[in-house]
A and B are shown apart, each in its own frame.
Chain A
Amino acid sequence: MKLTMKAAPHLRNGDTVRKVMLDVLIALTPVAVWAVVAFGLKALALIVICTVGAEALDFVIMRFLRNRKSFRPDLSGAVTGLLLALNLSVAVELWQALVGVVVAVAIAKAVFGGLGKNFFNPALIGRVFLLISFPVQMTTWFRPFDMQTSATPLALLKEGAPRVFSLQEMLLGTIPGSLGEVSALLLVLGFGWLLIRGRVSPIIPVTYIGTVAIFAAIFNGFNPSFGSPIYHILGGGLMLGALFMATDMVTSPMSLKGHIIFGIGCGAITMIIRLFGGYPEGVSFAILVMNAFVPLIDMFAKPKIFGKVKSHA
């Protein structure tokens, strides 16, 4: 009888990082399907190329460049790829999307040490790289279904000629925008799945969106041309950013206090860019800027240890 010596606990709940990633992919599936329905086969091609390409590239880097013989794909690359695809306009060429994938996986993630070690959200680094490199394709937007080029709600706002999209259009996703940002309802639905599965806490999205709403309400009160809170929440990339990009586990803080600070910071920077900056949209930059603050936030926003009278941080 051979008995093995193992460390407690001898029970585990069987969860793996792969299952976490799979849940994120499942949560994004309705949004991705809607993107294909709304924008056609080009959208499908972008999604497939980014998702499969990112996962394959991640595997090649881990298995061959870093020589991890036992490495098995963990789906983290696929999540990065899918999020990147959902952040693109359907006008982006496939080869351009692949450049974004390489930047996201090889530079934003692998260079920092791979999964869990990167400071910045890889999909957002990929997106911002493409935005700077290919500004034309990245800011040419199509209306779903009729595929007419059109400015996004926020771009119209910036130009001072707001064409008012209805609340219904923004919820269902018939407004111009990137593949994943048009349907607020499906984004919330997907996030609900993550909540049910206990994968994320709602604190970052709530504080993020709440901050945006308060900012918008205040400025809209002074000058209606700044746009209403509803417009700011549903008209751009905020829902996608707040629900799926800002909540990225690796690049967000760990504690409740940290989540609140992070969410408020993201919201404030987003609104400063939208209202006063050169770009109509500020979600990507806001999240990336706050990503840089995460180590600092983590250092100061530690939970209070049970029984510790005062934390001497």
Chain B
Amino acid sequence: MKLPTFRGGVHPPERKELSQNASLTVLPLPETVYVFLANHAGIPAKPVVKTGDKVKTGQLIAESGGFISAHLHSPVTGEVREIAKYYHPTLSKPEDAIVIQRTSEDDWELLGGTGSCDDFSSREIVDRIQRAGIVGLGGAMFPTNVKLSPPAEKKIDLLVINGAECEPYLTIDYRYMLERSEGIIEGTRAIMKALGVSRAIIGIEDNKPEAISKMKVASNGSNIVVKALKTKYPQGAEKQLIYALEKRVVPSGGLPLDVGVVVDNVGTAYAVYEALEAGRPLVERGVTLTGEGLKNPMNVVARIGTMTQELIEFAGGMLEGVDRVVFGGPMMGVTIPKLDVPIVKGTSGVTVMKETAPLEEFPCIRCGRCTFVCPMNLQPFLLNLYGSNRLYDKAVENGLMDCIECGSCSYGCPANIELVKNFKLHKKIYRSLKGGARK
């Protein structure tokens, strides 16, 4: 049978074998955590604690700063040491973080009233997700409660749970699906109820047959369907995933809800389950520690705000010849300049990569590979030509803002042109030229 997929895409080496057989390990509680106020997309949270305050694990330490924002909770029990600027891994600049010194083992402050999703109304579920500070754990960190409160005129009829994990090296969603399948299904049911939809599909790439069968068993008897997808990067990109599963095309500049779909990551579904059944706010997440440069690649459950240094030491430290440390996977991940950078809610993996031969750049020979692999059907060479010549309006006319930054074009370019890197820059320039308005 032909597996569902999308047009374009590439097949980078998967390298999941490094860490896929390592069961989830709970990381020992860190001595100090650094919780960024910008731990989600949108407006940073506002601190409600000050230096010297004693906090419990799960206690609210910063509240949502606006509509697109999220609450923050203390990942450990201890004392607030300071609120100061630290290097933010995905914003790539110093940002305010609440630093908490741990003083004891966990003393939880849970959200009151627990139970399965049948005990909650749909409004209560959304409210609970908001109070638990849950954001998209796939990496985008978009506040989940906002996603679950679509405008009234948008009719949602389908929930898609993203278990594709197309990013090479990363195995955290895989381990969650193997070891926490029931929780994911419960979380999925809760999100379905919150949205008022009767259908949900869990999409998983076919390079994870064990996860597929495990999720099929767990979803047995419910109206949640598990679907195998062709293994191809970027299968897990929202628009490509929806197209593969349902052949619905998200309009340019639009969101999945424009075609009646909401997409959430499997980790997010699990976090929803924990918030409902255990009353636990989002203070920890699964992180894959992997890469050829790491001694013992593994999958850990770590508290938000744990330093990368600690994670790497826990995984046996780095080997000789390490060149870069990437937050996320190798296709879309961001490098960090030093190891004392804390993880955030969207950190799905830390990939330690060895040095590779320097790339030799050539002029573009118009081979068309970038056009062929672009999952958005753009012409990357053309966007690059326009952007590099500062014709940003032309680039946008030709779809610059539709670029999902998946990196497929740069991956296969024989001229080794840094296409995606340039597009990110061109987008930024275009937005600031337009007065910061998003288009």
Q: Which residues of A contact B (CB under 8 A)?
A: 1, 3-13, 15-20, 72, 74, 76, 114-117, 199, 201, 249-250, 252, 254-255, 298, 302-309
Contact = CB atoms under 8 A, between A and B. Distances in A.
A11 B338 contact: no
A308 B381 contact: no
Given A7-B418, A9-B407, A306 B324 contact: no
Q: Which of A19, A114, A306, A309 has the most CB of B within 10 A?
A: A306
10 contacts: A8-B330, A8-B332, A8-B333, A15-B412, A20-B367, A201-B372, A298-B382, A305-B376, A305-B399, A307-B376
Contacts of A11: 12-13, 168, 330-331, 411
Contact of A9 (B249, B330, B338, B360): B330
A3 B362 CA distance: 26
A26 B325 CA distance: 39
Given A10-B353, A308-B251, 10 more contacts: A6-B335, A8-B333, A8-B405, A116-B364, A117-B363, A249-B365, A254-B381, A298-B382, A305-B402, A307-B254
Interface residues of B, number: 66
Contact of A10 (B324, B360, B398, B414): B324
B416 A7 contact: no
B365 A16 contact: no
A54 to B, nearest CB: 16
Report, nearest first, the 7 A-B pairs whose CB atoms are least far apart. A9-B407, A7-B421, A17-B362, A116-B363, A10-B330, A307-B252, A15-B414
B18 interface: no
Interface string B365-379: 111100110011111
B335 A9 contact: no
B410 interface: yes
Contact of A13 (B12, B325, B364): B12
Q: Which of A7, A8, A16 has the most CB of B within 10 A?
A: A8
A158 to B, nearest CB: 35
A5 B360 contact: no
A306 B375 contact: yes
Interface string B7-25: 1001011000000000000
Nearest to B335: A5
B415 interface: yes
Given A12-B411, A305-B399, A249 B331 contact: no
Contacts of A18: 362
A9 B367 contact: no
B434 to A, nearest CB: 19
Nearest to B364: A116
Contacts of A20: 365, 367, 414
Contacts of A199: 367
A303 B371 contact: yes
Contact of B377 (A74, A249, A250, A306): A306
A306 B376 contact: yes
Contacts of A74: 362
A19 B12 CA distance: 18
B interface secondary structure, majority: loop
Q: Which of B249, B367, B407 has the most CB of A within 10 A?
A: B367
A117 B379 CA distance: 17
Interface string B230-256: 000000000100010000011111100
Contact of B251 (A10, A298, A304, A307): A307
A115 B365 contact: yes
A117 B253 CA distance: 33
Contacts of A250: 365-366
Contact of A249 (B13, B249, B367, B410): B367
Contacts of A76: 365
B261 to A, nearest CB: 13
A254 B334 CA distance: 31
A116 B366 contact: yes
Contacts of B402: 305-308
Contacts of B334: 8
Contacts of A255: 368, 371, 379
B360 A16 contact: yes
Given A4-B335, A302-B398, A9 B414 contact: no
B323 interface: yes
A18 B415 CA distance: 9
Given A4-B323, A10-B330, A250-B366, A305 B377 contact: yes
Contact of A254 (B336, B368, B376): B368
Contacts of A3: 322-325, 335-339
A294 to B, nearest CB: 9
Contacts of A302: 379, 398
Given A3-B335, A10-B333, A10-B351, A305 B412 contact: no
Interface string B258-281: 000000000000000000000000
Contacts of B411: 9, 11-13
Contacts of B338: 3
B420 interface: yes
B219 to A, nearest CB: 30
Contacts of B398: 302
A249 B362 CA distance: 14
B68 interface: no
B337 A12 contact: no
B129 to A, nearest CB: 28
Contact of B365 (A13, A17, A298, A306): A17
A116 B365 contact: yes
Interface in B318-348: 318, 322-326, 330-339
A249 B368 contact: yes
A7 B336 CA distance: 11
A305 B378 contact: yes
A250 B368 CA distance: 10
A309 B371 CA distance: 19
B233 to A, nearest CB: 9
Nearest to A259: B368
Contact of B324 (A5, A9, A72): A5
